[in-house]
A and B are shown apart, each in its own frame.
Chain A
Amino acid sequence: MREPNNVILRTVTRVTVVIILTFAINLFISGHHNPGGGFIGGLTFVAAITLLFIIHGIDKVRKNIPLDFKVVAAIGILISVFTGVMGMITGDPFLTQTSNYVNLPIFGKTEVATAVLFDVGVALAVIGTSLTIIMTIGDDR
Chain B
Amino acid sequence: MSLFHLIILFPFLYAVVVPFLYRKFLPKIHTGWFVLLAPLAIFAFLLSYMPLVSSGKTIQMTAPWIPAYDINFTAYIDGLSLLFGLIITGIGVLVVLYSIYYMSKKREALHNFYIYLLLFMGAMLGLVFSDNIFTLYVFWEITSISSFLLIAYWFQRDKSRYGALKSMLITIFGGLSMLAGLILLSIITDTYSIQVMMSKADIIQTHPLLVPAIVLILLGAFTKSAQFPFSIWLPDAMEAPTPVSAYLHSATMVKAGIYLVARFTPAFGGIPEWFWFVSIIGLFTLLYGSFNAVKQTDLKALLAFSTVSQLGLIMSLLGLGSAALYFDIGPSGTVYTIAVFAALFHLMNHSTFKGCLFMVVGIIDLQTGTRDIRRLGGLMHLMPISFTLAVIGSFAMAGLPPFNGFLSKELFFTATLKASDMSFFHMDSFGTIVPVVAWIASVFTFIYCMIIIFKTFTGKQKFNQADKQIREAPFGMLISPLILAATVVVIFLFPNYFSQYLLQPAWAAVLPTFAQRDLLDINISAWHGFNTELFMTIGIVAVGTLMYKYLKKWYGIYRFYPKALTLNHLYALALEKTEALSLSITKGYMTGFVRDYLVYIFTFIIVIIGGALYLLGDLSMDTGNDALVNAYEFALIIGTVILAALVLVARSRLTAIIAVGALGFLVVFFFVIFRAPDLALTQLVVETITTVLFLLCFYHLPKLKKENSPIQFKAANALVSLGVGIVITIVALSANGNRLFESISSYYEDAYELAGAKNIVNAILVDFRGFDTMLEILVLTMAGLGVYALVKLRLTGSEKSEGAE
- The distance in angstroms between the C-alpha atoms of A113 and B763, with both chains bound, is 11
- A91 touching B1 by the CB < 8 A rule? yes
- The distance in angstroms between the C-alpha atoms of A94 and B63, with both chains bound, is 11
Interface centre among A27, A70, A111, A140 (most CB of B within 10 A): A140
Smallest CB–CB gap between B9 and chain A, Å?
11
Instruction: Give a binary string over B666-682; 1 marks a CB under 8 Å from any A CB, 0 the rest.
Output: 00000000000110011
Task: Tell me if B's interface is mostly helix, strand, loop or mixed.
Answer: helix
Cβ-defined partner of A140 (8 Å) among B757, B783, B791: B791
B51: interface (CB < 8 Å): no
B607: interface (CB < 8 Å): no
B762: interface (CB < 8 Å): yes
Smallest CB–CB gap between B681 and chain A, Å?
5
**What's the count of A-B pairs with C-beta under 8 Å?**
152
Q: Evaluate whether A35 and B678 lie within 8 angstroms (CB atoms) in the complex, with A128-B781, A129-B780, A130-B784 already known.
A: yes
- The distance in angstroms between the C-alpha atoms of A133 and B784, with both chains bound, is 6
- A130 touching B689 by the CB < 8 A rule? yes
- The distance in angstroms between the C-alpha atoms of A121 and B778, with both chains bound, is 11
Instruction: Give a binary string over B764-805; 1 marks a CB under 8 Å from any A CB, 0 the rest.
Output: 011100110110011011011101100110000000000000
- A122 touching B777 by the CB < 8 A rule? yes
Report A's interface with B, CB cutoff 8 A.
1, 27, 31-40, 43-44, 46-47, 50, 54, 70, 73-74, 76-77, 80-81, 84, 88-89, 91, 93-95, 97, 99, 111, 113, 115, 118-119, 121-122, 125-126, 128-130, 132-134, 136-138, 140
**Contacts A1-B696, A32-B759, A115-B756 given; 8 further ones with Cβ under 8 A?**
A33-B758, A43-B689, A77-B774, A91-B1, A118-B773, A129-B781, A136-B787, A136-B792
Q: Which residues does chain A contribute within 8 Å of B700, judged by CB atoms?
A: 137, 140
- B767 touching A97 by the CB < 8 A rule? yes
Smallest CB–CB gap between B245 and chain A, Å?
34
Q: Give the interface size bracket for B toward A.
A: 35 or more
Interface centre among A1, A40, A128, A130 (most CB of B within 10 A): A40
- A32 touching B758 by the CB < 8 A rule? yes
B715: interface (CB < 8 Å): no
- The distance in angstroms between the C-alpha atoms of A126 and B777, with both chains bound, is 7
- B761 touching A77 by the CB < 8 A rule? no
Smallest CB–CB gap between B588 and chain A, Å?
31
Smallest CB–CB gap between B748 and chain A, Å?
14
Q: Evaluate whether A129 and B762 lie within 8 angstroms (CB atoms) in the complex, with A39-B682, A76-B777, A89-B1 already known.
A: no
- The distance in angstroms between the C-alpha atoms of A38 and B791, with both chains bound, is 28
Sample of 13 A–B contacts (CB below 8 Å)? A32-B758, A39-B682, A40-B678, A43-B685, A70-B788, A77-B778, A94-B65, A118-B766, A118-B773, A125-B780, A126-B780, A133-B693, A137-B697
Cβ-defined partner of B682 (8 Å) among A33, A40, A125, A137: A40
B66: interface (CB < 8 Å): yes
Smallest CB–CB gap between A17 and chain B, Å?
14
- A37 touching B766 by the CB < 8 A rule? yes
Instruction: Give a binary string over B135-172; 1 marks a CB under 8 Å from any A CB, 0 the rest.
Output: 00000000000000000000000000000000000000
B292: interface (CB < 8 Å): no
B599: interface (CB < 8 Å): no
- The distance in angstroms between the C-alpha atoms of A44 and B755, with both chains bound, is 25
Task: Tell me if A's interface is mostly helix, strand, loop or mixed.
Answer: helix
- A34 touching B759 by the CB < 8 A rule? yes
Q: Which residues does chain B contribute within 8 Å of A74, judged by CB atoms?
A: 781
- B781 touching A77 by the CB < 8 A rule? yes
Instruction: Give a binary string over B65-85; 1 marks a CB under 8 Å from any A CB, 0 the rest.
Output: 111100000000000000000
Q: Which residues does chain A contribute within 8 Å of B483, judged by CB atoms?
A: none
Q: Which residues does chain B contribute within 8 Å of A126, judged by CB atoms?
A: 777, 780
Cβ-defined partner of B762 (8 Å) among A32, A44, A81, A134: A32
Smallest CB–CB gap between B805 and chain A, Å?
27
- The distance in angstroms between the C-alpha atoms of A28 and B538, with both chains bound, is 82
- The distance in angstroms between the C-alpha atoms of A130 and B383, with both chains bound, is 62
- B689 touching A122 by the CB < 8 A rule? no
- A40 touching B685 by the CB < 8 A rule? yes
Q: Considering only CB atoms, which chain B residue lies closest to A54 in the complex?
A: B692
* B residues 686-734 touching A (CB-CB < 8 Å): 686, 688-689, 692-693, 696-697, 700
Q: Considering only CB atoms, which chain A residue lies closest to B685 in the complex?
A: A43
